[in-house]
Structure 1
Amino acid sequence: MPISEDRAPAPSEPDTTSADRRDFRRIAIASLVGTLIEGYDFVLYSLAAALVFPKVFFPSLGPAAGTIASLATLGVAFAGRPIGAILFGHFGDRLGRKRTLIATVTGMGLGTTLMGLIPSADTIGIAAPILIVVLRAIQGIAIGGEWAGAVLFVTEHAPKERRGLYAMFPQLGHSMPNALSAGTFLLVGLLVSPETFLAWGWRVPFIASVLLLAFSLYIRLRVEETPVFKNQQKRGGTSGVPLFAAFRRQPGTILRTAGVSLTALTFVYVGNAFVANYGVGSLGLSRNAVLAMGAASGLAFAMFTMLSAVLSDRFGRRPVIGGSQILGVVWGLVLFPLLDTGSVAAYGLAMCLTMAIAGLGYGAIGAFVPEQFPTAYRYTAAGIAYQITGVIGGGVAPLLAPVIISAQGTTVFGIVLAAISAVAAVCTFSLRETGKDDLDGQHADEQAGHTLAQQGER
């Protein structure tokens, strides 16, 4: 149904103060658990790709080429993420946040569980890596639609003065898996021998993902659609093709918003995928030491994600996110000199500070990115912007790291990390501050223009 050109007064932000506290806790948990599965799946796969998959699925390539091939499969999911953002963003903006989020979490959880059941290359040959790539692609498409839906689901329920705090929950779901995945791998590694771990022990954390999936579905089936989306439907309906509307109305904003998450996602995925392999392969640290430091850095990521969200409500989104990116410029130049000292303590400090800087920006991103767009295409636009960043920071950067370092050394890759953070800071400060915006009445002055765009799409 087209949006009316008659500008009725925009409804006020939904009154969540009268909502039942149990319902809002359920909403927060639903957002947290969904992104927890996403983060758990991705971090778990990153660790396995660095420590296990070269030997299990790419043994014929040898250690070096096998590691590059294994890390390259990380990029398959990141290539699928923008597709998922468009696909699920369309349904999320047209049909609602709740139903779309049920579909995304199912795709993610089943993909991870099935990965734990694939026989090794020694058993079924080339079919093993092919199946891994296929499941990774499916997982990536599902994850492409999860993040935007999860942050919208909680921010569109939250009062605007506490939106940054409530947006913390889906972001926390992403930060907790760094400790959870590494800790799970470490626990299994301590309980079984290295040979048993390589034979089947690594599969346990993957198969256990089905428990998170079951809990997430139980929670999400019991929550209501967001009041902001319901008001959008009452006000005049949804965009015919949200993708077209988003790029017609705010193409520059989408591209600049894509840069906001660059530092956080690059630091997280380079740390979890490449630095883990670098610690074992180049620095000679034990697998268990690397996993223990990974778990500790995950706790740092979670703590600073919470701090970031709280600070963003008090001081604004841009100062918090931009400040983390400026720190990222400096840290990019310091990271590898610290790592190359070769000690476990230096490795642990490097990982913790890397994740702390990432978390300092990440918590505020959950509110800042969706706040840039109106309700009619918020799911699509926020999802695309975030997943573009995911392709660069999560897919390209970890893959380029071993290539650049082997050819030019760690100093050059450190400069690349610093440059990425500098670009991210420019993008962040080029966008408007949104902490005081009313999501339900946001961009009311664009209503008539959006109507014309919608009619043109049809």
Structure 2
Amino acid sequence: MSATTAAGRPGPSDAPRVPPRREPTPTQRRRVAAASLIGTTIEWYDYFIFGSAAALVFGPLFFPQADPLTGTLAAFATFAVGFIARPIGGIVMGHFGDRVGRKSMLVTSMMLMGVATVLIGLLPTYETIGIAAPILLVVLRLVQGFGVGGEWGGAVLMSVEYAPPRRRAIFGSLPQMGLPAGVILANVAFIVAVQRLAPGEFAAWGWRVPFLLSAVLIVVGLVLRLKVQESPEFAALREDKEVLRSPLVQVFRSHKSDLLLASAASIAAPALGYLILVYMLSYGVGVIGHSSQTVLWLIVVASLAWLVAIGISAVVAERVGRKRVFLAGALLVSVWAFPFFRLVDSGEVVSMGVALSVAAVAVATMAGPQAALVADLFPASVRYSGSSLAYQVGSVLGGAFAPTIATSLFAAYAASWPIAVYMAALGAASFLALLFLREEEPVPAPVGDGV
């Protein structure tokens, strides 16, 4: 078991290391980078088509006895159910990821997500099977949540632990890019379905097509992931017989403060992210009065800004420090909250695009350095358990109920300013937690030190 100091901080043997016995080749690193980016893109596609469907059709299809507002809240609550399973997935897959290996958990998470997504696409509605329809929808959403709960830790660790020296933040940002990339794919899939089909056809069967397309994407992702080798850091642990029997127990025993602070720091990004990706679709259509295609395209534009900004923030983090960049993103969330809704409420498409894009950049500024910052808080022997749990707890506290809370606040006050207050408060919470979070000091990257 790795030694720690009396204060519970990592001792010398806990420092992240890349054993010289199996230094990855550039080809292996490129293969892992591609598998991480493409694999997480597919998994987030699966996860977010549910959010789009919840905003557009799940209310009347699975909760028809409710009035429109209650139906929307019920659909968003079903979306939130996936978050309940995410920490469980993080704990279970984190345990086996630290015991058996990172690669096997990545394959498992992709299989779970793919099967659940395809089954949702085949699920009969309330009109056909009654109350069993929303119950099965919740069960399948729980499976999705369980799968994505283990996905983030595994994809991040494979990338970070394969990274060249002084490139951990950049490699760790690749799985983070999978989120906006998955959102783009999900929204484009729904845009095509909405544009090509009449409203009645879309409600009857068209919404199922994006879910069923997941079967093809999952095969691509599995082929890529099966070709990569195990993380070199975990391989070294296994060779040295340093694999722990109960890694999660060690996390709570020796890294409790890091776990709590990393969880709190991870609140703002998912909260704002899900407000953009899920709530804004409902708000833009139901409150502002735009068509669903218009709002979906605005989210695609914001997601493109998000994707690019993640890479930029990771590169900057390697130069000036991960924590500083993360702090800047959390501060931007709080500062932008009120201008965001002022621009959105104008109803002008360009203004809404600016509002969503700047908000997406705020999320990206946190997401770029987040993977490496959180992963390096924990030694390799407990890294999957610690980083997964921190990220998923933050996602639950921040993102799980953000669309539901926003919908309820607007219903209660008939105004957007309470939602802006809520957003600003979450940004402040993450900022304060980050102030106390420690960081591995980055080493400036020499020119030419690439993949």
TM-score by length of 1: 0.91
The one of 394, 404, 414 aligned to 1:399: 404
> How many Å apart are 1:296 and its aligned residue?
0.9
Question: What is aligned with 1:375?
Answer: 380
Q: Root-mean-square deviation (CA), in Å? A: 2.1
Q: Quick check: 1:426 aligned with 2:435?
A: no
Q: Is the 8 A contact 1:160 1:435 kept in 2?
A: no
Amino acid aligned to 1:436: P
The one of 343, 346, 353 aligned to 1:341: 346
Amino acid aligned to 1:411: W
Can you give the 5+ residue segments of structure 1 that lack an aligned partner in the other structure? Answer: 438-458
> How many Å apart are 1:15 and its aligned residue?
5.6
> How many Å apart are 1:362 and its aligned residue?
0.8
Secondary structure, aligned partner of 1:282: helix
For residues 107-186 of structure 1, what are the structure 2 equivalents within 5 Å? Answer: 107-186=112-191
> How many Å apart are 1:193 and its aligned residue?
1.5
Separation in 1, partners of 2:16, 2:344: 53
Amino acid aligned to 2:30: R
Question: What is aligned with 1:63?
Answer: 68
Amino acid aligned to 1:198: A
Question: What is aligned with 2:55?
Answer: 50
For residues 81-96 of structure 1, what are the structure 2 equivalents within 5 Å? Answer: 81-96=86-101
Q: Is the 8 A contact 2:183 2:300 kept in 1?
A: yes
Separation in 1, partners of 2:216, 2:176: 20
Cα deviation per residue 1:260-291 (whole Å; 9 max; x = unaligned)? 22221111111111111000111111111111
Measured at CA, do residues 113 and 11 of structure 1 come closer, stay the same or move farther in structure 2, by a change above 3 Å?
closer
Measured at CA, do residues 199 and 189 of structure 1 come closer, stay the same or move farther in structure 2, by a change above 3 Å?
same
% identical aligned pairs: 38
Separation in 2, partners of 1:197, 1:158: 44
Separation in 2, partners of 1:104, 1:293: 30
Separation in 2, partners of 1:328, 1:300: 15
Q: Is the 8 A contact 1:328 1:418 kept in 2?
A: yes
Secondary structure, aligned partner of 1:342: coil
> How many Å apart are 1:13 and its aligned residue?
2.6
Separation in 1, partners of 2:274, 2:121: 21
Measured at CA, do residues 423 and 12 of structure 1 come closer, stay the same or move farther in structure 2, by a change above 3 Å?
closer
Question: What is aligned with 1:241?
Answer: 246
Q: Is the 8 A contact 2:45 2:182 kept in 1?
A: yes
Amino acid aligned to 2:131: I
Separation in 1, partners of 2:20, 2:343: 50
Separation in 2, partners of 1:358, 1:337: 19
Amino acid aligned to 2:235: K
Cα deviation per residue 1:179-225 (whole Å; 9 max; x = unaligned)? 21111111121111122111111111111111221111111111111
The one of 421, 436, 442 aligned to 2:442: 436
Farther off after superposition, 233-242 or 191-200: 233-242
Q: Quick check: 1:213 aligned with 2:218?
A: yes
Amino acid aligned to 2:424: A
> How many Å apart are 1:233 and its aligned residue?
2.3
Cα deviation per residue 1:412-457 (whole Å; 9 max; x = unaligned)? 22111111101101112211222538xxxxxxxxxxxxxxxxxxxx
Question: What is aligned with 1:275?
Answer: 280
> How many Å apart are 1:12 and its aligned residue?
5.2
Secondary structure, aligned partner of 2:65: helix
For residues 215-230 of structure 1, what are the structure 2 equivalents within 5 Å? Answer: 215-230=220-235
> How many Å apart are 1:339 and its aligned residue?
1.4
Cα deviation per residue 1:83-104 (whole Å; 9 max; x = unaligned)? 1111000000011101111111
Cα deviation per residue 1:374-423 (whole Å; 9 max; x = unaligned)? 11111001000000111122212221111122223321221111111011
Separation in 2, partners of 1:127, 1:223: 40
Measured at CA, do residues 279 and 170 of structure 1 come closer, stay the same or move farther in structure 2, by a change above 3 Å?
same
Separation in 1, partners of 2:14, 2:281: 54
Q: Quick check: 1:351 aligned with 2:351?
A: no
Measured at CA, do residues 141 and 12 of structure 1 come closer, stay the same or move farther in structure 2, by a change above 3 Å?
closer
The one of 231, 241, 260 aligned to 2:265: 260
Q: Is the 8 A contact 2:17 2:233 kept in 1?
A: no
Separation in 1, partners of 2:360, 2:121: 27
Q: Is the 8 A contact 1:175 1:298 kept in 2?
A: yes
Measured at CA, do residues 287 and 10 of structure 1 come closer, stay the same or move farther in structure 2, by a change above 3 Å?
closer
Q: Is the 8 A contact 2:19 2:236 kept in 1?
A: no
Separation in 2, partners of 1:278, 1:12: 47
Measured at CA, do residues 418 and 225 of structure 1 come closer, stay the same or move farther in structure 2, by a change above 3 Å?
same
Secondary structure, aligned partner of 2:347: coil
Measured at CA, do residues 3 and 417 of structure 1 come closer, stay the same or move farther in structure 2, by a change above 3 Å?
closer
TM-score by length of 2: 0.92
Q: Is the 8 A contact 2:54 2:75 kept in 1?
A: yes
> How many Å apart are 1:108 and its aligned residue?
0.9
> How many Å apart are 1:343 and its aligned residue?
2.1
Separation in 2, partners of 1:103, 1:334: 42
> How many Å apart are 1:346 and its aligned residue?
2.2
> How many Å apart are 1:50 and its aligned residue?
0.6
Separation in 2, partners of 1:284, 1:17: 58
Amino acid aligned to 2:81: V
